[in-house]
Structure 1
Amino acid sequence: MSPDEYCQQKTVQSGSSFYYSFLFLPPERRRAITALYAFCREVDDTVDECTDESIARIKLAWWRTEVSTTYKATPTHPVMLALQPHLAVYNLKEEHLQAIIDGMEMDLNQTRYLDYKAMQNYCWHVASVVGILSASIFGVTDPKTLEYAEKLGLAFQLTNIIRDVGEDARKGRIYLPVNELQQFGVTAADLLNARHSDKFEALMAFQVARAQTVYDEAFALLPKQDRRSQRPGLMMAAIYRTLLSEIENDHFHVLTQRISLTPVRKLWLAWKTYVRN
């Protein structure tokens, strides 16, 4: 199996919505974004699938070294072998790849966030920086496009947090800001014990409204001349905003189930967005 095939398999197996937006890219950019996504999956799995925290930290340290090696010599992991040819072509910076690893390590260091600012910092490391790297691969002619991509990454991660509230709580992690839980009268125990209530629905309605606002703010930053090249991000936004609507229509029953869209619906939304842009 070649490095590119390894990355393709990793991406398909993840079942991520991102896969559908990759399908519309030219081959070279598709290989680059698939390798980047596979890298994100690898380092994320290092934390999520490792039950021993000390081993997870050792693995993340190995990935830090592997990333550094990729910019200086020949790496050993198939994901980095696949990503290496694209680093200079798309100006993918080492500091951004290292920042993603920092974000994964944050999951080992803390399981609560005091306020939205603290949660935003986490989101920047695990998502906004991925948005910047992805936009660079898609094609950028105006620096403002990277600001759009950074904000869009935040919107995506806010959506993930909303969708995965129950799943994350079962892992002992609560990303919703502590002060906002207090504001709506929802306790950490409510989330950990999957207690759905009117207060929880009000809290989640607030989270969804904020995420939708962040999407709007991101779109307002996207320069017209880069809109076509950035269509993959717009496709993902169409899928994720539809997911938010589904969660809202289901009265935010995310504590005991993971609400998702069917592959056919994701593909339809991606295609429709591609045609319109």
Structure 2
Amino acid sequence: MTPHDYCQQKAAASGSSFYYSFLFLPPERKQAIMALYAFCREVDDVVDECQDPTIAANKLDWWRAEIGRVAADEATHPVGHALIDVRKRFNLAPEQLLEIIDGMQMDLTQTRYLDFKGLRLYCYRVASVVGLLAAEIFGYEDRQTLKYAHDLGLAFQLTNIIRDVGEDARRGRIYLPVEDLQRFNVPAKDILDAKHSDAFVSLMRFQYERAVGFYESAMAQLPAQDRKAQRPGLIMAAIYRTLLEEIAQDNFLVLDRRTSLTPVRKLWIATRTWFKG
């Protein structure tokens, strides 16, 4: 199995919506985005699957060292080997890959965020940086596209947070800022106990509107000449916006269930968005 085959299998096995946005890319760019996505999955799995925070921190340190080896063309992991190949072709900065790891590290040391400023830093590291790297792979002419990629990454991560409130709570994490919980009079205990209430719906409506604001900001900043190249991001936006709207229509029933779209529906949205351009 080649390093790129490994990355392909890692991406396909995840069942993520991101996989559907890669399907229509030409082979070289598809290989590159698969390598980036596989790297993100590897470091995210460290945090989600490792029960001992010390062991997880050591594994993230190993990945930091591996990125150093990628920069020196001496990688040891299949994903590292794939990244050596694509880093040079698509200007992927090792510093940005390290910043993604820094975001994962935050999950080992922080389970609450006092305000949106703190949460925004987390979202930037784990999502906006990924968006910026993906924009390099997809290609652009106008650097304004990077602002689009930055805000789209924030929108995606905020959507994830809304979708996963209950799942995260069962892991002892609440990403919704404390200042927002206090504003809408929703005690953290209500979220940990999966207590759905009118106050919780108001809180989530506020989170929904914040996410929509970043989607709209991103789309407003995408230059027309880069729209075709950035179609994979537009596919993700279409899938994630559909998911977000379904959650809202279901009155934010996210504490004891996880809303998702079927693979067929994701494929339909991806195909429609790609050919729409």
Q: Same fold (TM over 0.5)?
A: yes
User: 1:69-95: CA deviations, max 9, x gaps?
Assistant: 101132010011112111121110011
Partner residue, 2:101: 101
2:54 is the alignment partner of 1:54:
yes
Query: 2:74: which partner in 1?
Result: 74
Compute the displacement of 1:209 (Å): 1.2
What secondary structure is seen at the aligned counterpart in 1 of 2:90?
Answer: coil
User: Structure 2 matches for 1:173-252, cutoff 5 A?
Assistant: 173-252=173-252
More displaced stretch, 123-132 vs 79-88 = 79-88
For 1:53, the aligned partner's letter is P
Partner of 2:30: 30
Shift of 1:109: 1.1
- Residue type at the aligned position of 2:233: G
TM-score, normalised by the number of residues in structure 1: 0.99
> 2:73–2:84: 8 Å Cα contact kept in structure 1?
no
Q: Secondary structure in 1 aligned to 2:21?
A: helix
2:51 partner letter: T
Deviates more, 1:69-78 or 1:128-137: 69-78
Deviations 1:106-144 (CA, angstroms, capped at 9, x unpaired) = 001110001111110000000000000001000021111
- Give the aligned residue type for 2:251: H
**SS in structure 2 of the partner of residue 89 of structure 1:** helix
Given residue 167 of structure 1, which amino acid in structure 2 is its aligned partner? E
CA distance in 2, matches of 1:61, 1:83: 18
**TM-score, with length taken from structure 2:** 0.99
- Matches of 1:73 and 1:117 in 2, distance apart? 37
- Deviation per CA, 1:44-80: give whole Å up to 9, x if none: 0011100011100110000000001101132010011
The residue aligned with 1:147 is 147
Aligned to 1:119: 119
Q: How large is the Cα RMSD of the aligned pairs? A: 0.7
Counterpart residue type for residue 134 of structure 1: A
Structure 1, unmatched stretches of 5+, are none
Name stretches of at least 5 consecutive residues in structure 2 with no aligned partner: none
Aligned length: 277
1:275 alignment partner in structure 2: 275
Aligned letter for 2:23?
A: L
